[in-house]
Amino acid sequence: MGGMTKRIVILGGGTGGTLGANRLRRIFSEEDVEIVVVDQNDDHVYQPGLLFVPFGLAHTDEIIRSRRHQIYEGVEFRQVPIQQVDTAGSTVHLADGSELGYDVLVVATGSVLVKEETEGLTGPGWMEKVFTFYDVAGAAALHDALDAFDGGRLVVNVVDMPIKCPVAPLEFCFLADWFFQQVGIRDRVDLTYVTPLDGAFTKPVASKTLTGLLEQKGVSLVTEFNTGEVDGAGGRLISYDGREVGFDLAVVVPLHGGADYVARSPGLGDELGFVPVDPHTLQSHTTPNIFAIGDAAGVPTSKAGSVTHFEGEVLVENVRRFLADEPLDASFDGHANCFIETGFGKALLIDFNYDTEPLPGHYPASVGLPLLKESRLNHLGKLMFQPLYWHSLLPGRDLPGVGSAMPARGKDTQGVR
């Protein structure tokens, strides 16, 4: 590397930033490459756990750990907000006035909730009868609200895509059905799922299965509803085309955007604050020494931890190749793998990529977990994942039997209805 120490700056110490930093630390010596991770706080949230908090199945303490402690020794962690990135000057400006030059920048600051972009969402009734479970405070407050709920209309609303984990709002519906049966008031609760999509999910085969599951669990479905306003006081969701859905309790998934500093950094992000990168190499379209991973990346696949995990391998290889002046590896295939909790100790599993939608069959091969079908085994898989997240995924180890590329074996491509 020609003697001079290079510097890799990673913005964000969440899933992608942490596993990226740890994998990079393993392949580069400290003399050759300095690695710095920047984040504004030290709270690493296991985000899949947020779904369970409202139902008393997880407590917020159990899903938050120190960011710093997930990052290897030999990686510098700086806790400070990011002001902006000077892409032409390869420099990050930090909120404390200091600057951080880089040879390679990895954007891993995920997505943020932009609640204020929806009229009325945080107005009267917010955190009283309008909640979200997409952040820690919201999930905890919703737990109290569900405990106090004694019947009426509960609506679950996705304002617009893209959102993190597009299956989570559906899982919320399934768990709500289970929860109200457990407390004995299911007959007094009217559950409705309100979505901007034309079905329960974005991909046709899985959408059909999930729409069927909603029906089976007595959850009404309202489609192509683009929420323009949330009237918390009046208990109404109002769409841009003038339709209304009434509620006594609303669980809203707000609009998502990239981290605020992205918009302040000319040439870095798109109109929503995500960083446009090549979907196969994860390199910025505009600036060759910038890469993005995870929710922060503007690529056409789900914003999900599994995607971030699968991107890790290509990201690290391409940072290495970029620094060595070698052609990049264009092998990321958009692989996503999501357990969908369906209540009563069961879950289903979906596995897909840029080109292949979620199909029935088994994962990772014909002997394995059932795909697109409820089973107890998938629920156990979902539970088992949390310790693996902290102890294998974040340290950047490969998970046994789980490759970065989507396995085609085991998928039932003929039986698609």
Site for other proteins in 144-203 (CB under 8 A): 160-162, 166, 197, 202-203
Does 294 engage in binding with other proteins (CB under 8 A)?
no
119 or 215: CB nearest other proteins: 119
Does 395 engage in binding with other proteins (CB under 8 A)?
no
Prior bond of 364 cis (ω within 30°):
yes
129 or 256: CB nearest other proteins: 256
Only segment of 83-91, 130-138, 299-307, 309-317 that touches other proteins (CB under 8 A): 299-307
Handedness of CA 202, 204, 209, 214 (dihedral sign): positive
70 or 118: CB nearest other proteins: 118
119 or 326: CB nearest other proteins: 119
Taking the C-alpha atoms of residue 207 and residue 216, their distance in angstroms, rounded to an integer, is 14
Only segment of 48-56, 183-191, 295-303, 322-330 that touches other proteins (CB under 8 A): 295-303
Minimum gap (Å) between residue 149 Cβ and other proteins = 31
Does 222 engage in binding with other proteins (CB under 8 A)?
no
257 or 396: CB nearest other proteins: 257
Site for other proteins in 63-122 (CB under 8 A): none
Does 355 engage in binding with other proteins (CB under 8 A)?
no
179 or 225: CB nearest other proteins: 225
Does 228 engage in binding with other proteins (CB under 8 A)?
yes
# binding residues, other proteins (CB under 8 A) = 18
Does 278 engage in binding with other proteins (CB under 8 A)?
no
3-state DSSP of the chain:
CCCCCEEEEEECCCHHHHHHHHHHHHHCCCCCEEEEEEECCCEEECHHHHHCHHHCCCCHHHHEEECHHHCCCCCEEEECCEEEEECCCCEEEECCCCEEECCEEEECCCEEECHHHCECCCCCCECCCEECCCCHHHHHHHHHHHHHCCCEEEEEEECCCCCECCCHHHHHHHHHHHHHHHCCCHHHEEEEEECCCCCCCCCHHHHHHHHHHHHHCCEEEECCCCEEEEECCCCEEEECCCCEEECCEEEEECCEEECHHHHCCCCCCCCCCCEEECCCCCEECCCCCEEECHHHEECCCCECHHHHHHHHHHHHHHHHHHHCCCCCCCCCCCCEEEEEEEECCEEEEEEECCCCCCCCEEECCCCCEEECCCEHHHHHHHHHHHHHHHHHHCCCCCCCCCCCCCCCCCECCCCCC
Taking the C-alpha atoms of residue 233 and residue 125, their distance in angstroms, rounded to an integer, is 5
145 or 405: CB nearest other proteins: 405
* Selected binder of other proteins within 272, 323, 330, 380 (CB under 8 A): 272
202 or 404: CB nearest other proteins: 202
Does 226 engage in binding with other proteins (CB under 8 A)?
yes
Does 255 engage in binding with other proteins (CB under 8 A)?
yes
* Selected binder of other proteins within 62, 116, 150, 224 (CB under 8 A): 224
162 or 235: CB nearest other proteins: 162
Does 300 engage in binding with other proteins (CB under 8 A)?
yes
153 or 264: CB nearest other proteins: 264
Minimum gap (Å) between residue 224 Cβ and other proteins = 7
* Cβ atoms 332, 344 nearer than 8 A: no
* Selected binder of other proteins within 241, 355, 367, 414 (CB under 8 A): 241
Does 240 engage in binding with other proteins (CB under 8 A)?
yes
Residues in touch with other proteins (CB under 8 A): 160-162, 166, 197, 202-203, 224, 226, 228, 240-241, 255, 271-272, 300-302
